[in-house]
Structure 1
Amino acid sequence: MNTSMRMFSRLRSQRFQTGLSLVELLVGILIGLVATLAISNLFSGFEARKRMIAGGADAQSSGVLAMYYMQRDAQNAGYGLPLYNSSDPSPLLCPINTSINQGGVIINLSPVVIVDGGTGSDIVRIRYGNPASGGASLRATGTMTAPTLDGRLIGCQENDVVLFHQTPTNPNCSLGRLQKVNSDRTINTLSEINTPPTASPVSILNGADWVRFSCLGAWNQYEYTVNAAMELTRTGGTSGTTPFPNSAAVPVASDIVALQAQYGITETIDPTATTTTAAAYLNRVDRWVDATGTFGPTMALMDRNRIRAIRIAVIARDGNLQRSNVSQTCNGAAAGVSRVCIWQADANPAGVDLSGVPNWQRYRYRSFEATIPLRNIIWNRDAL
């Protein structure tokens, strides 16, 4: 009996100690591979989504930062130009080439200038001053180099750019620099006076006309453009105590591939006006135009003064190169591929030429737009 039980126990032990068959082993390996593949695909999908979200966040940050800088400057365009009462002409009626040479950069009184870039990015130049007086003016008599003013230079600082504005019937204008101020807030020295051909370099009086003297502060030019490294750069500002434009272009936002801008002009004559000069136009935007033709480099003064606003568009790139095309032109028809358009509120949005960006269709883009009323032009409108 004992012998039989021992044999049975040995047989049972051998049966339970047998290993996996080859089929069972292959099935187990297959299940493991399937699970590994599923986990890898899931991880890859999460990683791709994370990169897309991160890239979109970077493009969002770059676009918002670019618009912040340009909006801030554009809202100040023209600040410092004196505001007179409605019976006196605005300084915006000064000859359009009234300018001053600041450190080798010729700067005129135009608050905003757009340089059309053709198929590339535009350039936006914005000009304004920073006078503590806010554009207050004084009557001047005598000569331009040593004028007598009917008040003290409150809010004027040494090195300020100054404006001589002859009004009302003969709008001659000159820019100069307040080189030195006396302790009693009177003029000590003026320099760099740019005398227009029609004005006398000696006397600033002409018959019944009179002259206004205004401090513009550091009348400066801030220029925005997109460089070859796809950065939005800002040139301008003051360097230390020197009120000249800084020639160094400072990057303010990365992954900006395009900058486009347009003027908003008025074309509607005020029905109560008795003339058809710039003074007769309403304060509203009737049409958006590129900086070409009439509104290009040879723009006339009257057309310049019809500008009521500008609008700006920037295209920001997310920076992640995709495996296939994810972007197309504004008029593209590929299904599931994003179109790159600007002026999207228009009946016919415009396209942007990004062919200069390598593999541009394999990147995602975001467009940012802003419309900025030129308030310091609008406020001068009654005198235009």
Structure 2
Amino acid sequence: MRAGFHSPRARGFSLVELLVSVLIGLLALVFATRLITGAEQNKASALGGSDSMQNGMLAMFSISGDAQQAGFGLNDPVLVGCNTRFHDTGGYSLAPAARGPGTVFPLAPAVIESGGAGPDRISLYSGSSMTGTGTLRVTSNYIGGTRLDVDRVPSYGFKLGDVVVVAPDNIGAGDCALAQISEDPGRVDAPPKQQYVMLAGGTGFRYNSGALGGANYTAGMARIFNLGPEKTLAFHTWSVNNGFLQLRSTDLAGSGGTAQTVADNIVSIKAQYGFDTRTGGAFTPQDGLQVRRWSATMIDADGSGSAGNAGDYQHIAALRIAVVARSAARERPDADGDCTATADKPVVFASAVPEGVAAAPITVDVGGDDWGCYRYRVFETIVPLRNAGWRP
């Protein structure tokens, strides 16, 4: 072979071949990038859906569990719906409700503060006394102080520290008042045993203000109901704040006045009362209540001409509860900048149940201009109030 002669293969790649190779590499890189990005987006959507499922189920389990227990011991018509004077050094306060032109604080198994299209606040109250229907009658006029004279020795079913409610016999004749027994009613100073109940303040008596909030009672016209030990009094208020499900509670340390977070990515909770709208002689709660109308606000269920009175609370047969959970991950908008993960806002309570009862659907405001970039799950349940028909 002569010097200076080079084979064509010894010259390497041509510029065209090099550019083609770079183009193929770039196409492969773009394809791989899109494949990985798509896989990550699918993974994020799947994980977000899983998170919303878990958070929504946790929220529904917690709220519906409270609803199933609501009202135990609060089963006397004298108590249900009674405007109650309440004092708590732990910071808890009863839920307000409309009654005519004014506002009251009813003692009832459930109180809904409707938020319209926004989240509701749901308060669920229950005691633990198995002797809630056993009462003491007030035998002397009460115009203040820490002592209530009663018609018998309160040794059976009434113990030191128990939470009691004083209520007038005539429904609507006055306010109820909640307090704690501050002196052991079974002790013997001298025969016979004491026939009075002490409601003094002091350490360990968080519900005592010293004067029953200013309420007065007439001899022979008021009774004392026992709700059970203070530590088992379960007054709970559920709410949503900035995507967090929160709870204020009398039986969870530190959460009486300051709500504690229970679950995240919960954008709304909704509730409706299930009313038995029969009135007069047709209303026979001892034979069982029937849901005939759903409403997020109080109605004139007892036909008295006034919505929100004590009788209306006695016509509540069940609660309908919904939880709306959101995926944790925000999905990317399309090429035009529009979010397409969710096209329409969630609708709750759209089904007509029980059969023959009209639905009262609510379109939920899930908040924010970018709400369509998230996915939502809706959880619903109906909880009969277990003591709605248990009446003395």
**Superposition TM-score tier, normalisation by shorter sequence:** 0.7 to 0.9
Alignment equivalent of 2:349, drawn from 343, 346, 351: 343
* Aligned-partner Cα distance in 1 for 2:133–2:171: 21
**Aligned-partner residue type, residue 352 of structure 1:** V
Matched, 1:290 2:296: yes
Are the structure 2 counterparts of residues 369 and 134 from structure 1 closer, same or farther at C-alpha, using a change threshold of 3 Å? farther
* Aligned-partner Cα distance in 2 for 1:53–1:129: 42
User: Does the CA contact (< 8 Å) of 2:81 and 2:314 recur in 1?
Assistant: no
Alignment equivalent of 1:217, drawn from 214, 229, 239: 229
* Aligned-partner Cα distance in 2 for 1:215–1:223: 18
Are the structure 2 counterparts of residues 310 and 170 from structure 1 closer, same or farther at C-alpha, using a change threshold of 3 Å? closer
Alignment equivalent of 2:329, drawn from 320, 324, 327: 320
* Aligned-partner Cα distance in 2 for 1:188–1:306: 32
Are the structure 2 counterparts of residues 171 and 280 from structure 1 closer, same or farther at C-alpha, using a change threshold of 3 Å? farther
User: Does the CA contact (< 8 Å) of 2:285 and 2:389 recur in 1?
Assistant: no
Corresponding residue for residue 274 of structure 2:
264
State how 1:1-384 maps to structure 2 within 5 Å.
7=1, 14-81=7-74, 91-94=76-79, 96-103=81-88, 105-106=93-94, 108-131=106-129, 133=130, 135=132, 137-138=134-135, 140=137, 142-143=139-140, 145-149=148-152, 152-154=155-157, 156-158=159-161, 160-164=162-166, 174-175=176-177, 176-182=179-185, 184=187, 189-191=198-200, 192-193=211-212, 199-200=217-218, 203=219, 205=220, 213-218=225-230, 219-227=233-241, 229-238=242-251, 246-268=256-278, 275-277=281-283, 279=285, 282-294=288-300, 298-321=307-330, 322-323=332-333, 324-326=338-340, 337=343, 339-346=345-352, 349-354=361-366, 356-380=367-391, 383=392
Root-mean-square deviation (Å): 3.7
User: Does the CA contact (< 8 Å) of 1:265 and 1:284 recur in 2?
Assistant: yes
Q: Which moved more, 1:279-288 or 1:299-308?
A: 279-288
* Aligned-partner Cα distance in 2 for 1:213–1:194: 17
Are the structure 2 counterparts of residues 41 and 155 from structure 1 closer, same or farther at C-alpha, using a change threshold of 3 Å? farther
Identity of aligned residues (%): 26
CA offset digits 1:255-302 (Å, max 9, x no partner): 222222111112357xxxx9245648842212211215537x951222
Specify every segment of 5 or more residues in structure 1 that has no aligned partner in the other structure, as ranges: 1-6, 82-89, 329-336
* Aligned-partner Cα distance in 1 for 2:187–2:49: 58
* Aligned-partner Cα distance in 2 for 1:224–1:169: 29
Flag the structure with higher helix content.
1
Report deviation, 1:25. Answer: 2.2
* Aligned-partner Cα distance in 2 for 1:366–1:299: 32
User: Does the CA contact (< 8 Å) of 1:223 and 1:234 recur in 2?
Assistant: yes
Are the structure 2 counterparts of residues 259 and 188 from structure 1 closer, same or farther at C-alpha, using a change threshold of 3 Å? closer
- What is the TM-score normalised by the length of structure 1? 0.74
**Aligned-partner residue type, residue 371 of structure 1:** I
Flag the structure with higher strand content.
1
* Aligned-partner Cα distance in 2 for 1:358–1:237: 37
Specify every segment of 5 or more residues in structure 2 that has no aligned partner in the other structure, as ranges: 95-104, 143-147, 189-193, 201-210, 353-358
**Aligned-partner residue type, residue 87 of structure 2:** Q
**Aligned-partner residue type, residue 124 of structure 2:** I
Tell me, what secondary structure is at the counterpart of 2:116?
Answer: coil
Corresponding residue for residue 332 of structure 1:
none
* Aligned-partner Cα distance in 2 for 1:170–1:38: 75
Are the structure 2 counterparts of residues 300 and 169 from structure 1 closer, same or farther at C-alpha, using a change threshold of 3 Å? closer
User: Does the CA contact (< 8 Å) of 2:300 and 2:312 recur in 1?
Assistant: yes
